[in-house]
Amino acid sequence: MTEPLLSIEGVSVDLPTARGPLKAVDKVDLVLAPGRTLGIVGESGCGKTMLSRAVLQLLPKRAKLGGRILFAGRDMARLSPEELRRLRGPELAVVFQDPMTSLNPVLTIGTQIVETLQAHLGMDGTVAARRGAELLAAVGIPSPEQRLRQYPHQLSGGMRQRVAIAIALSCEPKLLIADEPTTALDVTIQAQILDLLAREQKRRHMAMILITHDLGVVAGRTDEVAVMYAGRVVERAPTGQLFARMRMPYTQALLAALPRLDAPPHTVLPAIGGRPPDPTRPLPGCSFAPRCRYADLTCRNDKPLLRDPEGAGALHACWHPLP
């Protein structure tokens, strides 16, 4: 077994709100080996973004972090701001949903790439500019020299996301966190960007966390998938195994709720009734119990832990797992 690159141990994130503390992430354990891809799937408010922000140490100021995050053997919470700055970029990089939030609108693309390369790799200006053009070409941007002189608003959404990916890859990170990288993009562009990420991930032997709400996005492009609901990981398994046999009723319901391409029009979708619980009012039992058709008294009273009862490498948090 290789040494994990990232290990998330019992991580919780609490956010103070006017209505009391909000448990955004609740005792999550995850490990990621070098060069592997982990998909984190869940709906809005399930805590997937907060978890990634905890890894990046980019949590809101008032957030309370519990547990431990080890990246390449280092305890992230104990690093000084200077150590973190040196880590982000060369070792740990991120691509956000909206590239406009990570690109500076008043600087040219070139300035932003060159700055990154100068700051982290100590390249001089000319070398960095040449490397910048290479990076843009590598992520599929036509006429890269010209693009370097342009501003973010002059590019389409897909092109901007390519630039954000080029910047994230520029320092050859060991781990790339892609947080809904294609949600804001059109479907044909989405496929291109996912292909690009998969190609660069393999080529660079880089580990990747792909965060998405779309089971279709993780299906063909991850080694392992963790499904989150109400702040917890409720199921985690190698991707093929998960799709072949979903044990947690929520995962299965989430898949069933997607319109199927092979179903005729006007097929009634098996929708999940109700909605996720209020995160400021945690439930004593399973968070999915109020929406689950298999739930009984045990589910309502006792929280199921994520476990692997069969030792098959597939974990689920459920009192009545599906066969």
Partner 1 sequence: MTPLLSVRNLVVEYAIGGHTLSAVSDVSLVVARGETLGLVGESGCGKSTLGRAVLQLRRPTSGRVTFDGKELTTLDGEALRLMRRRLQLIFQDPIASLNPRRRIGDIVAEPLVIAGVTDKAEREKRVREVLTAVGLDPDLVLGRLPHEFSGGQCQRISIARALILEPEFVICDEPVSALDVSIRAQILNLLEEMKRRYGLTLLFIAHDLAVVKAVSDRIAVMYLGKLCEVGPTERLFKAPAHPYTALLLEAIPVPDPTVRPAANVPGGEPPSPLAPPSGCRFRTRCPRADVQCAAEVPELRNLGDGQFAACHHPLI
Element (H, E) at 157: helix 157-169
Query: Which one of 113-121, 129-137, 153-161, 311-319 is the stretch in contact with partner 1 (CB under 8 A)?
Result: 153-161
Enumerate residues 171-190 that contact partner 1 by CB under 8 A: 186-190
Say whether residue 308 binds partner 1 (CB under 8 A): no
Task: Determine, following the binding rule CB under 8 A, whether residue 254 of this chain makes contact with partner 1.
Answer: yes
* Strand runs labelled E in 180-305: 207-212, 224-229, 232-238
Output the smallest distance, CB 254 to partner 1, in A: 6
CB nearer to partner 1: pick between 12 and 222: 222
Least distance (Å) between residue 44 CB and partner 1: 5
CA–CA dist 105, 84 (Å, integer): 25
What residues from 201 to 240 belong to the interface with partner 1 (CB under 8 A)? 213-217, 219-221, 239-240
Question: 């520029």: which residue's tokens?
Answer: 170
Which window, 27-35, 128-136, 267-275, 315-323, contacts partner 1 (CB under 8 A)? 267-275
Question: Which residue bears the tokens 């909000």?
Answer: 22
- Given the complex with partner 1, which of 69 and 254 has the nearer CB atom? 254
Determine the Cα–Cα distance for residues 191 and 193; give it in Å rounded to an integer: 6
Supply φ then ψ for residue 8, to 5 degrees: -105, 115
DSSP per residue, 55-90? HHT---TT-EEEEEEEETTEEGGG--HHHHHHHBTT
Q: Is 132 left (phi over 0), alpha (psi -120 to 50) or beta?
A: alpha
Among 94, 95, 248, 255, binds partner 1 (CB under 8 A): 255
1 touches partner 1 (CB under 8 A)? no
Chain residues binding partner 1 by CB under 8 A are: 43-44, 140, 156-159, 186-192, 194-195, 213-217, 219-221, 239-240, 243, 253-255, 257-261, 263-273, 275
